[in-house]
Amino acid sequence: MRAALILWRERLLHILSQLLLALDQLAGVLLALPFPPAWRGTWADETLSSRAYRADRDGKVFGRIWRPVIDALFFWQRQEPGTQGHCHGAYLNERERYSLPPELRSPSRASDQAPT
């Protein structure tokens, strides 16, 4: 019984994290709507954090404003060694296609499995 509850909890946490990811991606697209110059750098499958990192890296105002804000909001998150804050970590995860199902990811991350 305990194992079933643990499995149920893992599945619930997985689906909730997917919901938050989807809302993040939707917010990224919606925030670009009033700013036609931003449309060019907007991608439906990218999180705001990853976009903020790319914009900051490319010297754009959006990134210079939002990357420090987003990094400060997620100061509590554990970061992988070599990352430069939350936004940089999100960018690296996007490059590895981490939000996709394991079979669609690059081979280096294919072993990271979601709960079944």
Dihedral (CA of 75, 14, 49, 83) sign: positive
pLDDT at 116: 45
Looking at the predicted structure, is the pLDDT value of residue 114 above 70? no
> What is the band of 107 on the pLDDT scale with cuts at 50, 70, 90?
low
User: From the centroid of its chain, how far is CA 44?
Assistant: 12
pLDDT digits (tens, 9 = 90+) for 28-53: 888 888 877 777 778 888 999 999 99
DSSP symbols for 48-109: HHHHHHHHHHTT-HHHHHHHHHHHHHTTTS---TT--SHHHHHHHHHHTTTTS-GGGS-GGG
Looking at the predicted structure, is the pLDDT value of residue 17 above 70? yes
Looking at the predicted structure, is the pLDDT value of residue 111 above 60? no
- Beta-carbon contacts of 101 under 8 Å, excluding residues fewer than 6 positions away, are 114
Residue written as tokens 């394991």?
Answer: 102
What's the predicted TM-score (pTM) here? 0.74
Answer whether 69's CB lies under 8 Å from 31's CB: no
pLDDT digits (tens, 9 = 90+) for 57-102: 999 888 899 999 999 999 888 878 888 899 999 999 888 887 778 8
> What is the band of 103 on the pLDDT scale with cuts at 50, 70, 90?
confident
